[in-house]
Structure 1
Amino acid sequence: MAKPKVFVSSTCYDLQQIRDSLCTFIKGFGFEPVLSENGDVFYHPDLHTHEACINEVSNCQMFLLLIGGRFGGKYVYDKSKSITNAEYDAAVKANIPVFTYIKRNVLDNHYIYQENKDKSFITEMTFPAIEQSKDALSIFNFINYVRKASVNNAYEPFELASDIENHLRKQWAAMFFDFLKNREISKQITHTSKSVDALVVTTDKLEELVKSLYKSVDKENAPANIDLIQTQSMAKSFFMDNVSTCYPGVVNAQTEEELEMLSKINPQNMKWHEYLSSITLLRPLDKNSTEKDSDFNNDAEVNYRIPIDLINDADDLDMHYTGLNIYPDNEYQKEKEYLYQHGVCNLNEEQRLKVLRSFSTMKLFWD
């Protein structure tokens, strides 16, 4: 049975007792500890031992980082780093969960360093928790490097191995809970996906059934009626997607007479966004207009938004920023174009009036 491998990274000389205790603790969890001093690292004959340790990190599923008062041996390929620093970088690169523990007295000294790091005497200060004063700044900078990471930057102080073990029990229990929760969500997503697939199949079957009924009842007019239903369906999909999303996009008609005037507009010689502009408050924006602002994308082929002079109330000022950008090569907008050409453009005036009424501001006329 496969076991999660846990890489333990730290200086060995000062933290050997902690490392030994953690090795036993990790085995007690049923995991496989990886410690260089126990022969758990494969020292490839063609690689330097430092590089062998770095390579072993990527074979593990978790990474324990212990920071004490020693800097440790310098990494052979980058003398500014210790071997522990390089192992940590490898874990981050491999996107392995990192659990960081800092010796409490070192962390206390780090607080003092943080308060005085910009002072001229910082290089002359002695930090009791650091074994060699010359390494103090390197150790403190490494702590900052770890805690300022964009993710996975939590850390805990420790004095005894039991401090680390107690914290790890909680963390690993939380990881297992997260695994179970995500597994449950994944099952729900799979179930939903299957339900949607089944619904699509059912819809297709229902559509075929309706077509068969039409053909059996009225063979002569069935094809035309079926085409009309499909055309109206695509037209309504276009309007639902583009017209009812915001107030400036609602059909701009307050009376039945105004609505009838809009229904007379023939969309066949217009682009879909031009047609929207003719029936709603959205208007094309001149690229040289002084109305454009930093939030509005001027890289689009055409920009649409509601002009300031159509805003009657100061509370509606935000509508000025409700706009529409046209990207002809965008796949989503190509779908809009398809629904427009095969739906809206194929409706006659009477049919357009019925659809427009459903999306107008006249509440009394809504279907």
Structure 2
Amino acid sequence: MPIGYKPTVFVSSTCFDLGQVRADIRELIQTFGLDPALSEYNSFPVSPDTDTISNCLRNVREKADIFVLIIGGRYGFQTDSGKSITNLEYLEAKRKGIPIYVFVNSNIMNILPIWKNNPTADFSSHVENQKVLEFVENISHFKSNWVYKFDSAQDIKSVLLQQIPYLFMDSLDARKKLKDNDIVLSTAQYPPKSARLVLEKPDGWEHLLFAELCKSYLDRLDHKKFDLEYGVSFSDVVSIENTSDVFAWITIKNNEMLKLIRITTTLVNDAAAKSFGEPGQEGNYKKIQHVCQRLLEVYEQIINWKLSFTTLEVHEDFEPILDVLSGFADDPLFKIEEFVNRVHTEIPAALHSIASNGEHVTLDFTFVLESPDVDSFERELKNIHNLYC
């Protein structure tokens, strides 16, 4: 963090029915010496080029360090997804991994069990929209959420007055661990959940860290996946007229893909296992991070490799072989995504099963890539040779 930076507390709720509550919470946040972020105040950062929803989500994503969610009787404006802005802000905070404090009006918490048993009954005297009850029920299922009841702003203030100092103590403890163990965790390389795994080292932390980092890095490349889907590339157009130069370009691209495939299999099948450490020995968090970063860098390179075909201009006779060659990227891209999503889902589930039931769990994440369609490639290559040689 830069010198002089004060943590930001983002307060999320509907504004019309909870306006005074929000004002009171804002005052408390300022008392702590923290920066409050509430959308109805002029201090709330706004980009004039984006809509209200995008602005709110961007502020959660870029500014929020602590998230306070307050749920009253209104659900608020529903977006195209069917979720309210408050709901989307909450999901953004969950993805970011920051501390979340949830406060639900006591009347809603009291009728929640009744609603669950009678979901088709009329609860309009308690909530504007039954989606409020669905939202509260969904939030209550997250084990990491501690939900507090409130009747007034004072109830919320009392909880925050108790809980914020605990959060401060956690930060001091984390700072001490970093200092004592000479650990340096940049936020770019270690998102919050990953940094916590390195500091706290729960059972199986090495595999959890690997799964969390891989998924985090993959999610950062959504824009590249969209580029590939729409064929968007800002690289310069390459125009090749000489036949021998086209053959040379094809050879170079083929060798590049073979190299990327070799790197991928080495990272997953060799380097990852070594970074976890020998049985009974602790893994190396720096090596785990390195493997994850390199794996997703290779993934990005494969996307760029395939996009390079969209900026190539050659005679139409070469288009069939270029189509076959560009398809060499499809299996590695699919397999890397599949692998990352599997480890992110199956490793935590396996460790939970071991902790809960003492069961022995075996997971096989051996990485096998299909051989490129060499037969089609050689057939098209032979056709080209017959035309030009």
* Alignment TM-score, normalising by the size of structure 2: 0.45
Q: Considering only CA atoms, is the larger Rg found in Structure 1 or Structure 2?
A: 1
* Alignment TM-score, normalising by the size of structure 1: 0.48
- Between Structure 1 and Structure 2, which shows a larger proportion of helix residues? 2
- Between Structure 1 and Structure 2, which shows a larger proportion of strand residues? 1
